Structure 1
Amino acid sequence: MSPPDRLDLVESRLEIAELPSRYAMALDARDLDALVALFVEDVDAGAQGNGRDALKRWYDKVLRKFYRSIHLICGQTVDITDATHATGSIYCRAEHEDGDGWYVITMRYDDVYERRDGRWYFVRRREYPWYSVDVTERPGPDFVRWPPDIELRAAMPHRLQSWRSFWDRGDPAVPGRLSRQP
């Protein structure tokens, strides 16, 4: 790899690494303009349609379901496919205030990135929860306790093939060590 190509790779990794932090800070500040600016202009916002305005409407609706939040991120991996495409994953622990509850959720985001006009953006973010509970509780049999108007299902770590393969070779040696699975 030539020095200019190596430099571009390093710069790309650094720029992509900032996207989840910028996302978390914009989300927690309820800065919807900064939040949607992290996504490609023609982002698919599901039922809201396409584009940043549609995504902004979606986030406005979702973020009004709870009052305050804080998203702490760590453990990012990035796989750069070519000069304009990459994928990655990142862990997140988020806390959300809802009435008298303060809910903690642990999750993994799986991201798709694209470089357009020299800048990297999110194309898509998918979150996969481990668990959520009120901060005063421990995760229980269902692994998900959330305000009733928010749909959430535990997906991690069971969606990972390596996790399933590991446990297919035998359950824990000490019975009763694990809580019931969701």
Structure 2
Amino acid sequence: MDKTGDAQAEILARLDRLESRDEIRQLISKYSLALDMRDMNAMASLFAPDVKVGGGRSGRAALRDWLDETMRKQFDGTSHHVGSTIIEFVDADNAVGVVYSKNEHECGAEWVIMQMMYYDRYERIDGRWFFRRRQPLYWYATDLNKPPVGSRKMRWPGREPYEGSFHELFPSWKEFWTRSGPDEALPEPAPLETFIETMRRGNEIRGNRVR
């Protein structure tokens, strides 16, 4: 390929990245709308056809049925507010993302607010972007009138408080509190498209479901 062809290919690749980022952002917002409006078919259609749900189950129908039961039993109403979002590409058809979400839940007589983030994996299948996985990382959940000060910030009505996993994907949180000051050596900036994975440093969290 000559230089003109190389330049055109580079422009097309960069344009594809821009369009893909926008489509993924729309995917994230569509998830919130479908979930809050309880359109479980629309919500399930945002995931890869063979999405893993847990308990040995997989597929969109299994995801739809699990979330239908979960939302029906636990919440009278919800509102998911998408915040800071980082999307980075593994390759042309795979990406990862971190999405902040501030949520409100009507739980009978209590109004529970929640702060969390999602660690997402996205995949382009047949020209369209889908969620491959959504891993929820919770910081707090508490009644609107009860600030979540102290430990065990996940405080749902009818169950014992427990710790969330908001900080567990990123080792820097614990490291910050185990040292008395800043690190002596300042590392080089993370390579482009690997900011999230550089911060994660291969850390994994097991057990959280797709929501």
Tell me the TM-score normalised to structure 1 length: 0.88
Match of 1:66 among 63, 66, 75: 75
Aligned-pair identity in percent equals: 39
Q: How does 1:31-110 map to 2 (within 5 A)?
A: 31-47=39-55, 49-64=57-72, 65-110=74-119
Q: If you compute each CA radius of gyration, which structure gives the higher value, 1 or 2?
A: 2
**Structure 1 residue 18 displacement after superposition:** 1.2
Distance verdict in 2 for CA 1:79–1:150, change over 3 Å:
farther
Structure 2 residue 25 is matched with structure 1 residue 21: no
In the comparison of the two structures, how many residue pairs are matched? 171
Instruction: Please give the per-residue CA displacement for 1:8-29, whole angstroms capped at 9, x wherever unaligned.
Output: 1111111111111110111000
Distance verdict in 2 for CA 1:69–1:14, change over 3 Å:
same
**Aligned equivalents of 1:32, 1:25: Cα separation in 2:** 10
Distance verdict in 2 for CA 1:88–1:128, change over 3 Å:
same
Deviates more, 1:40-49 or 1:110-119: 40-49
**Aligned equivalents of 1:56, 1:95: Cα separation in 2:** 21
Deviates more, 1:124-133 or 1:155-164: 155-164
SS at match of 2:64: helix
Instruction: Please give the per-residue CA displacement for 1:59-110, whole angstroms capped at 9, x wherever unaligned.
Output: 1111111110000011110111111111101000001001100000100100
Tell me the TM-score normalised to structure 2 length: 0.76
**Aligned equivalents of 1:92, 1:136: Cα separation in 2:** 20
Structure 2 runs not aligned, ≥5 long:
1-8, 182-211
In the other structure, the counterpart of 1:4 is 12
SS at match of 1:10: helix
In the other structure, the counterpart of 2:166 is 156
